Amino acid sequence: MTTRAGERPNYVCTDTTLFDALGVPVTEINIDEDRIAAARVMRLNDGMRSVPTILFPDGSVLVEPSNAALEAKLAAYADGSR
């Protein structure tokens, strides 16, 4: 399962439509409400609360990706292919 960490007001962003369009399931986590997730985001981003921070099942991470970069990465997971 892909995990997308965000915060309000950016919690729901345009990149979530890419997950839906490609049929990639995603767990949304609001780092304003989840201190453990916030700490993980900060650890992954050298102390910064950079959002969205997207964690993939293969262990890779995208931080504030462009739509093109995110779409390219999600293509590997489209329609449950991974």
Enumerate the domain spans of the chain. 2-80
| φ, ψ dihedrals at 26, nearest 5° | -145, 140
Angle at which helices 15-22 and 67-74 cross, to 10°: 30
What is d(CA 64, CA 32) in angstroms, rounded to the nearest whole number?
A: 17
Amino acid at the residue 76:
A
Count the neighbouring beta carbons within 10 Å of the beta carbon of residue 59: 6
Q: What is the reported pLDDT for 82?
A: 56
The fold adopted by the segment(s) 2-80 is: Glutaredoxin (3.40.30)
Burial grade of 82 (CB within 10 A; 0-12, 13-18, 19 or more): exposed
| pLDDT tens, residue by residue, 6-51 | 776 554 555 778 888 888 988 888 899 999 999 999 999 999 999 9
The percent of the chain in helix, strand and coil, each rounded to the nearest 5, is: 40, 20, 40
